[in-house]
């Protein structure tokens, strides 16, 4: 070991894991630039990292074709009773799961180095930050954690001899026999992958995958699944939400937190540059919000992350110029295509398609190829500080006061562009019944409609019925200081299958109406589903959109909404007694309004 570890719990744990996993070496990370450069150097030498000619200090990685996204089917919330994990989570009894995984972990790091990664979610030393230690045998994980979290030896100093941390154990599950040649992206087959959480003891065990949310354990595993369970116990919120600051022409600031499922445009909205004059948007976070009630009784949010792990395909100067400018240097790309002049490329990027490229599987690619050059879930890992519109207050310890919550998803039909909840409980009903078409962010079929309450279905670390109850309770505590709740759908299509709304920077038009509602300056009409703007309430100045399209975008077809009811009832029935009475009541009122 290169550093002596003073923290007793940590040194015991390192020893225990080393005895179990039997690595050849142990490396305690300090988070320094030199450490990052050294790791990259090793990855370059072995041909795993590919340097990019056009972007300084930036590298491309190609994963194994089987290891390209989160694996929800192999993700477990292991509580002492199945009921605590609830109907939306996979569950295995903790004793049994630990037995299975201990068997897998036995000798799993042979031939490899075991990295001990001390990290902070949230600014180091902040009272709202949480300390995690990830042990991993993947150098790719180390360099990504350097960007996505705050990795530092200061974290170890802060821990002292008896400070507490969240242990996050990760192995790619691919030991090397003596003399065995390593593959470029070692990982275990799907049936041996386990992404396990033990929320009753704040513990994470991940095995078999090297990709994104399966392996960078500070993100979905700690900052959402474990943190959501802690948040319920302690009376705060850990949500799958972007955070942005919108400033109107009069200089009034609005802070918005918005929940959309993975790969539904959170990063694009978080960095959006308004197309309407005089409005300004700044990014605070693009994926996760931790929120606590402040001394003034309002809800304050911080972004616990340090970087963006964003979807590359579709990102361009047209759709998200601020992301493009964030990606100029110091970036890790995963599963993008490589152009002949040594740059990355993906479907939807600006300019012409390359005439030739190497696809994400490492094969020749031309525009005639039948497969995509970049994987649909290809990602960039980039420091948040590089974003040109990162808010100057993004690391403020006390966070920013949230005025507005937005829920949404991908819905080709049924759901209008925007509507407002009648009140907090109705807003919780909208969050609890949110549905979205599935994306490539999870291994599995794409485009199927599923209920994804609060965009937390894959990320809630306890019974979702209790999570709904927690939302209801937070509303009671916040009273008239609670954020106003809205629902949006950027993805509605015409009968010809074309998107009706331009989206991206024009989403500012919708946000403007939302802010004006909060300020009591815009009208809304009562409908069966909630409060809707009149078409003329949305600022369409300078936008070329036909009145027919606007009509279709805002249309509410009662028959289509009635057709949703059986599915909502089925969804609610899965929570049994844990479904809050308030939501039962909301459903009843909704049905009455639809009659
Ligand atoms: O792979 S991640 O879980 O980090 C990305 C996502 O699904 O949002
Ligand atoms: Mn996400």
CA dihedral 13, 19, 23, 29 (to 10 degrees): 20
Sheet strands side by side (includes 280-285) = 280-285, 241-247, 253-259, 404-408, 484-488, 418-420, 531-532, 525-526
pLDDT tens-digit map of 8-51 = 999 999 999 999 999 999 999 999 999 999 999 999 999 999 99
User: What are the beta bridge partners of residue 380?
Assistant: 310, 333
Q: Do residue 567 and residue 423 come from a single domain? A: yes
- For ligand 2, the distance from its centroid to the CA atom of residue 455, given in whole angstroms, is 9
Kindly give, in sequence order, each residue whose CB lies less than 8 Å from that of residue 540, ignoring residues fewer than 6 positions away.
Answer: 509, 550
Ligand 1 atom showing the smallest separation from residue 212 Cα = 1
pTM score above 0.85: yes
Task: Identify the domain boundary among 204, 236, 268.
Answer: 236
Ligand 1 binding pocket, CB closer than 6 Å: 70, 212-213, 219-220, 262, 309, 441
CA dihedral 470, 473, 475, 480 (to 10 degrees): -160
Q: Do residue 538 and residue 563 come from a single domain? A: yes
CATH code of the domain in which 513 resides? 3.90.228.20
Q: Please tell me the residue having the least CA distance from ligand 1 atom 4.
A: 213
Task: Identify the domain boundary among 386, 411, 431.
Answer: 386
Ligand 1 mutation target, pool 61, 170, 209, 213, most atoms within 8 A of CB: 213
CA dihedral 587, 589, 593, 595 (to 10 degrees): 70
Structural domain contains residue 218 = yes
Residue 2: pLDDT band by 50, 70, 90 thresholds?
A: low
- Which residue reads 């396990």 in tokens? 196
CA-wise closest residue to 246 among 222, 274, 205? 274
Structural domain contains residue 62 = no
CATH code of the domain in which 195 resides? 3.40.449.10
Structural domain contains residue 291 = no
- For ligand 1, the distance from its centroid to the CA atom of residue 12, given in whole angstroms, is 31
Residue 477's domain comprises: 403-594
Cα radius of gyration (the chain): 24
CA-wise closest residue to 121 among 148, 88, 93? 148
Q: Do residue 452 and residue 525 come from a single domain? A: yes
Q: Please tell me the residue having the least CA distance from ligand 1 atom 3.
A: 213
Structural domain contains residue 77 = yes
Ligand 1 atom showing the smallest separation from residue 69 Cα = 1
Structural domain contains residue 282 = no
Residue 4: pLDDT band by 50, 70, 90 thresholds?
A: confident
Q: How far apart are CA 65 and CA 220, in angstroms?
A: 22
- For ligand 1, the distance from its centroid to the CA atom of residue 18, given in whole angstroms, is 28
Q: Do residue 376 and residue 435 come from a single domain? A: no
Ligand 1 atom showing the smallest separation from residue 262 Cα = 8
Q: Do residue 412 and residue 561 come from a single domain? A: yes
Is residue 262's pLDDT more than 70? Answer: yes
Q: Do residue 126 and residue 183 come from a single domain? A: yes
Domain count, the chain: 3
Ligand 1 atom showing the smallest separation from residue 240 Cα = 8
Ligand 1 atom showing the smallest separation from residue 220 Cα = 3
> Could you tell me if 220 and 236 are in contact, meaning their C-beta atoms sit under 8 angstroms apart?
no
- For ligand 1, the distance from its centroid to the CA atom of residue 19, given in whole angstroms, is 31
Q: Please tell me the residue having the least CA distance from ligand 1 atom 8.
A: 262
Structural domain contains residue 450 = yes
CATH code of the domain in which 362 resides? 2.170.8.10
Structural domain contains residue 487 = yes
CA-wise closest residue to 510 among 485, 483, 489? 489
Q: Do residue 333 and residue 438 come from a single domain? A: no
Ligand 1 mutation target, pool 219, 409, 439, most atoms within 8 A of CB: 219
pLDDT tens-digit map of 116-161 = 999 999 999 888 899 999 999 999 999 999 999 999 999 999 999 9
Q: Do residue 423 and residue 560 come from a single domain? A: yes
Is residue 535's pLDDT more than 80? Answer: no
Q: Do residue 449 and residue 554 come from a single domain? A: yes
Q: How far apart are CA 34 and CA 47, in angstroms?
A: 20
> Could you tell me if 240 and 265 are in contact, meaning their C-beta atoms sit under 8 angstroms apart?
no
> Could you tell me if 303 and 227 are in contact, meaning their C-beta atoms sit under 8 angstroms apart?
no
- For ligand 1, the distance from its centroid to the CA atom of residue 535, given in whole angstroms, is 35
> What is the DSSP code (8-state) at residue 431?
H
- Which residue reads 């299958």 in tokens? 497
Q: What is the three-class DSSP state of 186?
A: coil
CA-wise closest residue to 384 among 482, 301, 310, 277? 310
Q: Do residue 188 and residue 319 come from a single domain? A: no
Q: Do residue 555 and residue 428 come from a single domain? A: yes
3-class secondary structure per residue, 24-71: CEEEECCCCHHHHHHHHHHHHHCCCCEECCCCCCCEEECCCCCCCCEC
Q: Do residue 124 and residue 175 come from a single domain? A: yes
pLDDT tens-digit map of 412-439 = 999 999 999 999 999 999 999 999 999 9
Closest ligand to C-alpha of residue 71 is 1
- For ligand 1, the distance from its centroid to the CA atom of residue 262, given in whole angstroms, is 6
Structural domain contains residue 255 = no
Average pLDDT taken over every residue of the chain: 97
Is residue 358's pLDDT more than 70? Answer: yes
Which residues are tagged catalytic? 264
Ligand 1 mutation target, pool 170, 212, 267, most atoms within 8 A of CB: 212
């Amino acid at each position: 070991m290169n550093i002596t570890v003073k923290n007793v719990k940590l040194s015991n744990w390192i020893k225990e894991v080393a005895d179990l996993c039997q690595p050849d070496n142990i490396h305690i990370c300090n988070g320094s630039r030199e450490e990052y450069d050294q790791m990259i150097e090793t990855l370059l030498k072995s041909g795993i990292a590919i340097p990019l000619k056009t972007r300084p200090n930036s590298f491309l990685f190609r994963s194994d074709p089987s290891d390209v996204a989160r694996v929800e089917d192999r993700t477990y919330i292991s509580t002492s009773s199945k009921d605590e994990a609830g109907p939306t989570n996979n569950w295995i009894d903790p004793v049994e799961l630990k037995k299975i995984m201990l068997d897998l972990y036995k000798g799993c790091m042979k031939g490899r180095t075991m990295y001990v990664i001390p990290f902070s979610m949230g600014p180091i030393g902040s009272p709202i930050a949480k300390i995690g230690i990830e042990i991993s045998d993947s150098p790719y994980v180390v360099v990504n954690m350097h960007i996505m979290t705050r990795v530092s030896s200061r974290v170890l100093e802060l821990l002292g001899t008896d400070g507490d941390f969240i242990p996050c154990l990760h192995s790619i599950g691919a030991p090397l026999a003596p003399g065995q040649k390593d593959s470029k992206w070692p990982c275990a087959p799907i049936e041996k992958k386990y992404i396990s959480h033990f929320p009753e003891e704040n513990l994470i065990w991940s095995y078999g995958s090297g990709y994104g949310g399966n392996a960078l354990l500070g993100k979905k595993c700690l900052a959402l699944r474990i943190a959501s369970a802690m948040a319920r116990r302690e009376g705060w919120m850990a949500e799958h939400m972007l955070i942005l600051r919108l400033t109107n022409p009069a200089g009034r600031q609005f802070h918005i937190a918005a929940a959309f499922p993975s790969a539904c445009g959170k990063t694009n909205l978080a960095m959006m540059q308004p197309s309407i004059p005089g409005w300004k948007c700044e990014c605070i976070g693009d994926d996760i919000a931790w929120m606590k009630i402040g001394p003034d009784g309002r809800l304050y949010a911080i972004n616990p992350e340090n970087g963006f792990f964003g979807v590359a395909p579709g990102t361009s100067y047209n759709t998200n110029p601020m992301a493009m400018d964030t990606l100029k240097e110091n970036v890790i790309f995963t599963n993008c295509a490589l152009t002949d002049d040594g740059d990355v490329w993906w479907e939807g990027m600006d300019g012409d398609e390359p005439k030739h490229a190497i696809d994400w599987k490492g094969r020749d690619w031309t525009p005639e190829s039948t497969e995509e050059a970049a994987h649909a879930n290809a990602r960039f890992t980039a420091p948040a500080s590089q974003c040109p519109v990162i808010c100057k207050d993004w690391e403020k310890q006390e966070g920013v006061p949230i005025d507005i919550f937005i829920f949404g998803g991908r819905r080709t039909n049924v759901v209008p562009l925007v509507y407002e909840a009648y009140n907090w409980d109705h807003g919780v009903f909208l969050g609890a019944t949110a549905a979205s078409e599935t994306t490539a962010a999870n291994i599995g079929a794409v485009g199927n409609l599923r209920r994804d309450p609060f965009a937390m279905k894959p990320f809630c670390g306890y019974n979702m019925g209790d999570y709904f109850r927690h939302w209801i309770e937070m509303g009671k505590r916040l009273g008239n200081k609670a954020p106003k709740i809205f629902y949006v759908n950027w993805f509605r299509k015409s009968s010809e299958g074309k998107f009706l709304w331009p989206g991206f920077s024009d989403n500012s038009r919708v946000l403007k109406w939302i802010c004006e509602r909060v300020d009591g300056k815009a009208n809304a009409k009562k409908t069966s589903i909630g409060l809707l703007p009149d078409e003329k309430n949305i600022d369409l100045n300078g936008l070329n959109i036909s009145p027919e399209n606007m009509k279709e975008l805002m249309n509410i077809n009662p028959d289509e909404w009635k057709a949703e009811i059986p599915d909502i009832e089925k969804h609610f029935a899965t929570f049994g007694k844990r479904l809050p009475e308030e939501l039962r009541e909301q459903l009843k009122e909704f049905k009455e309004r639809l009659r």
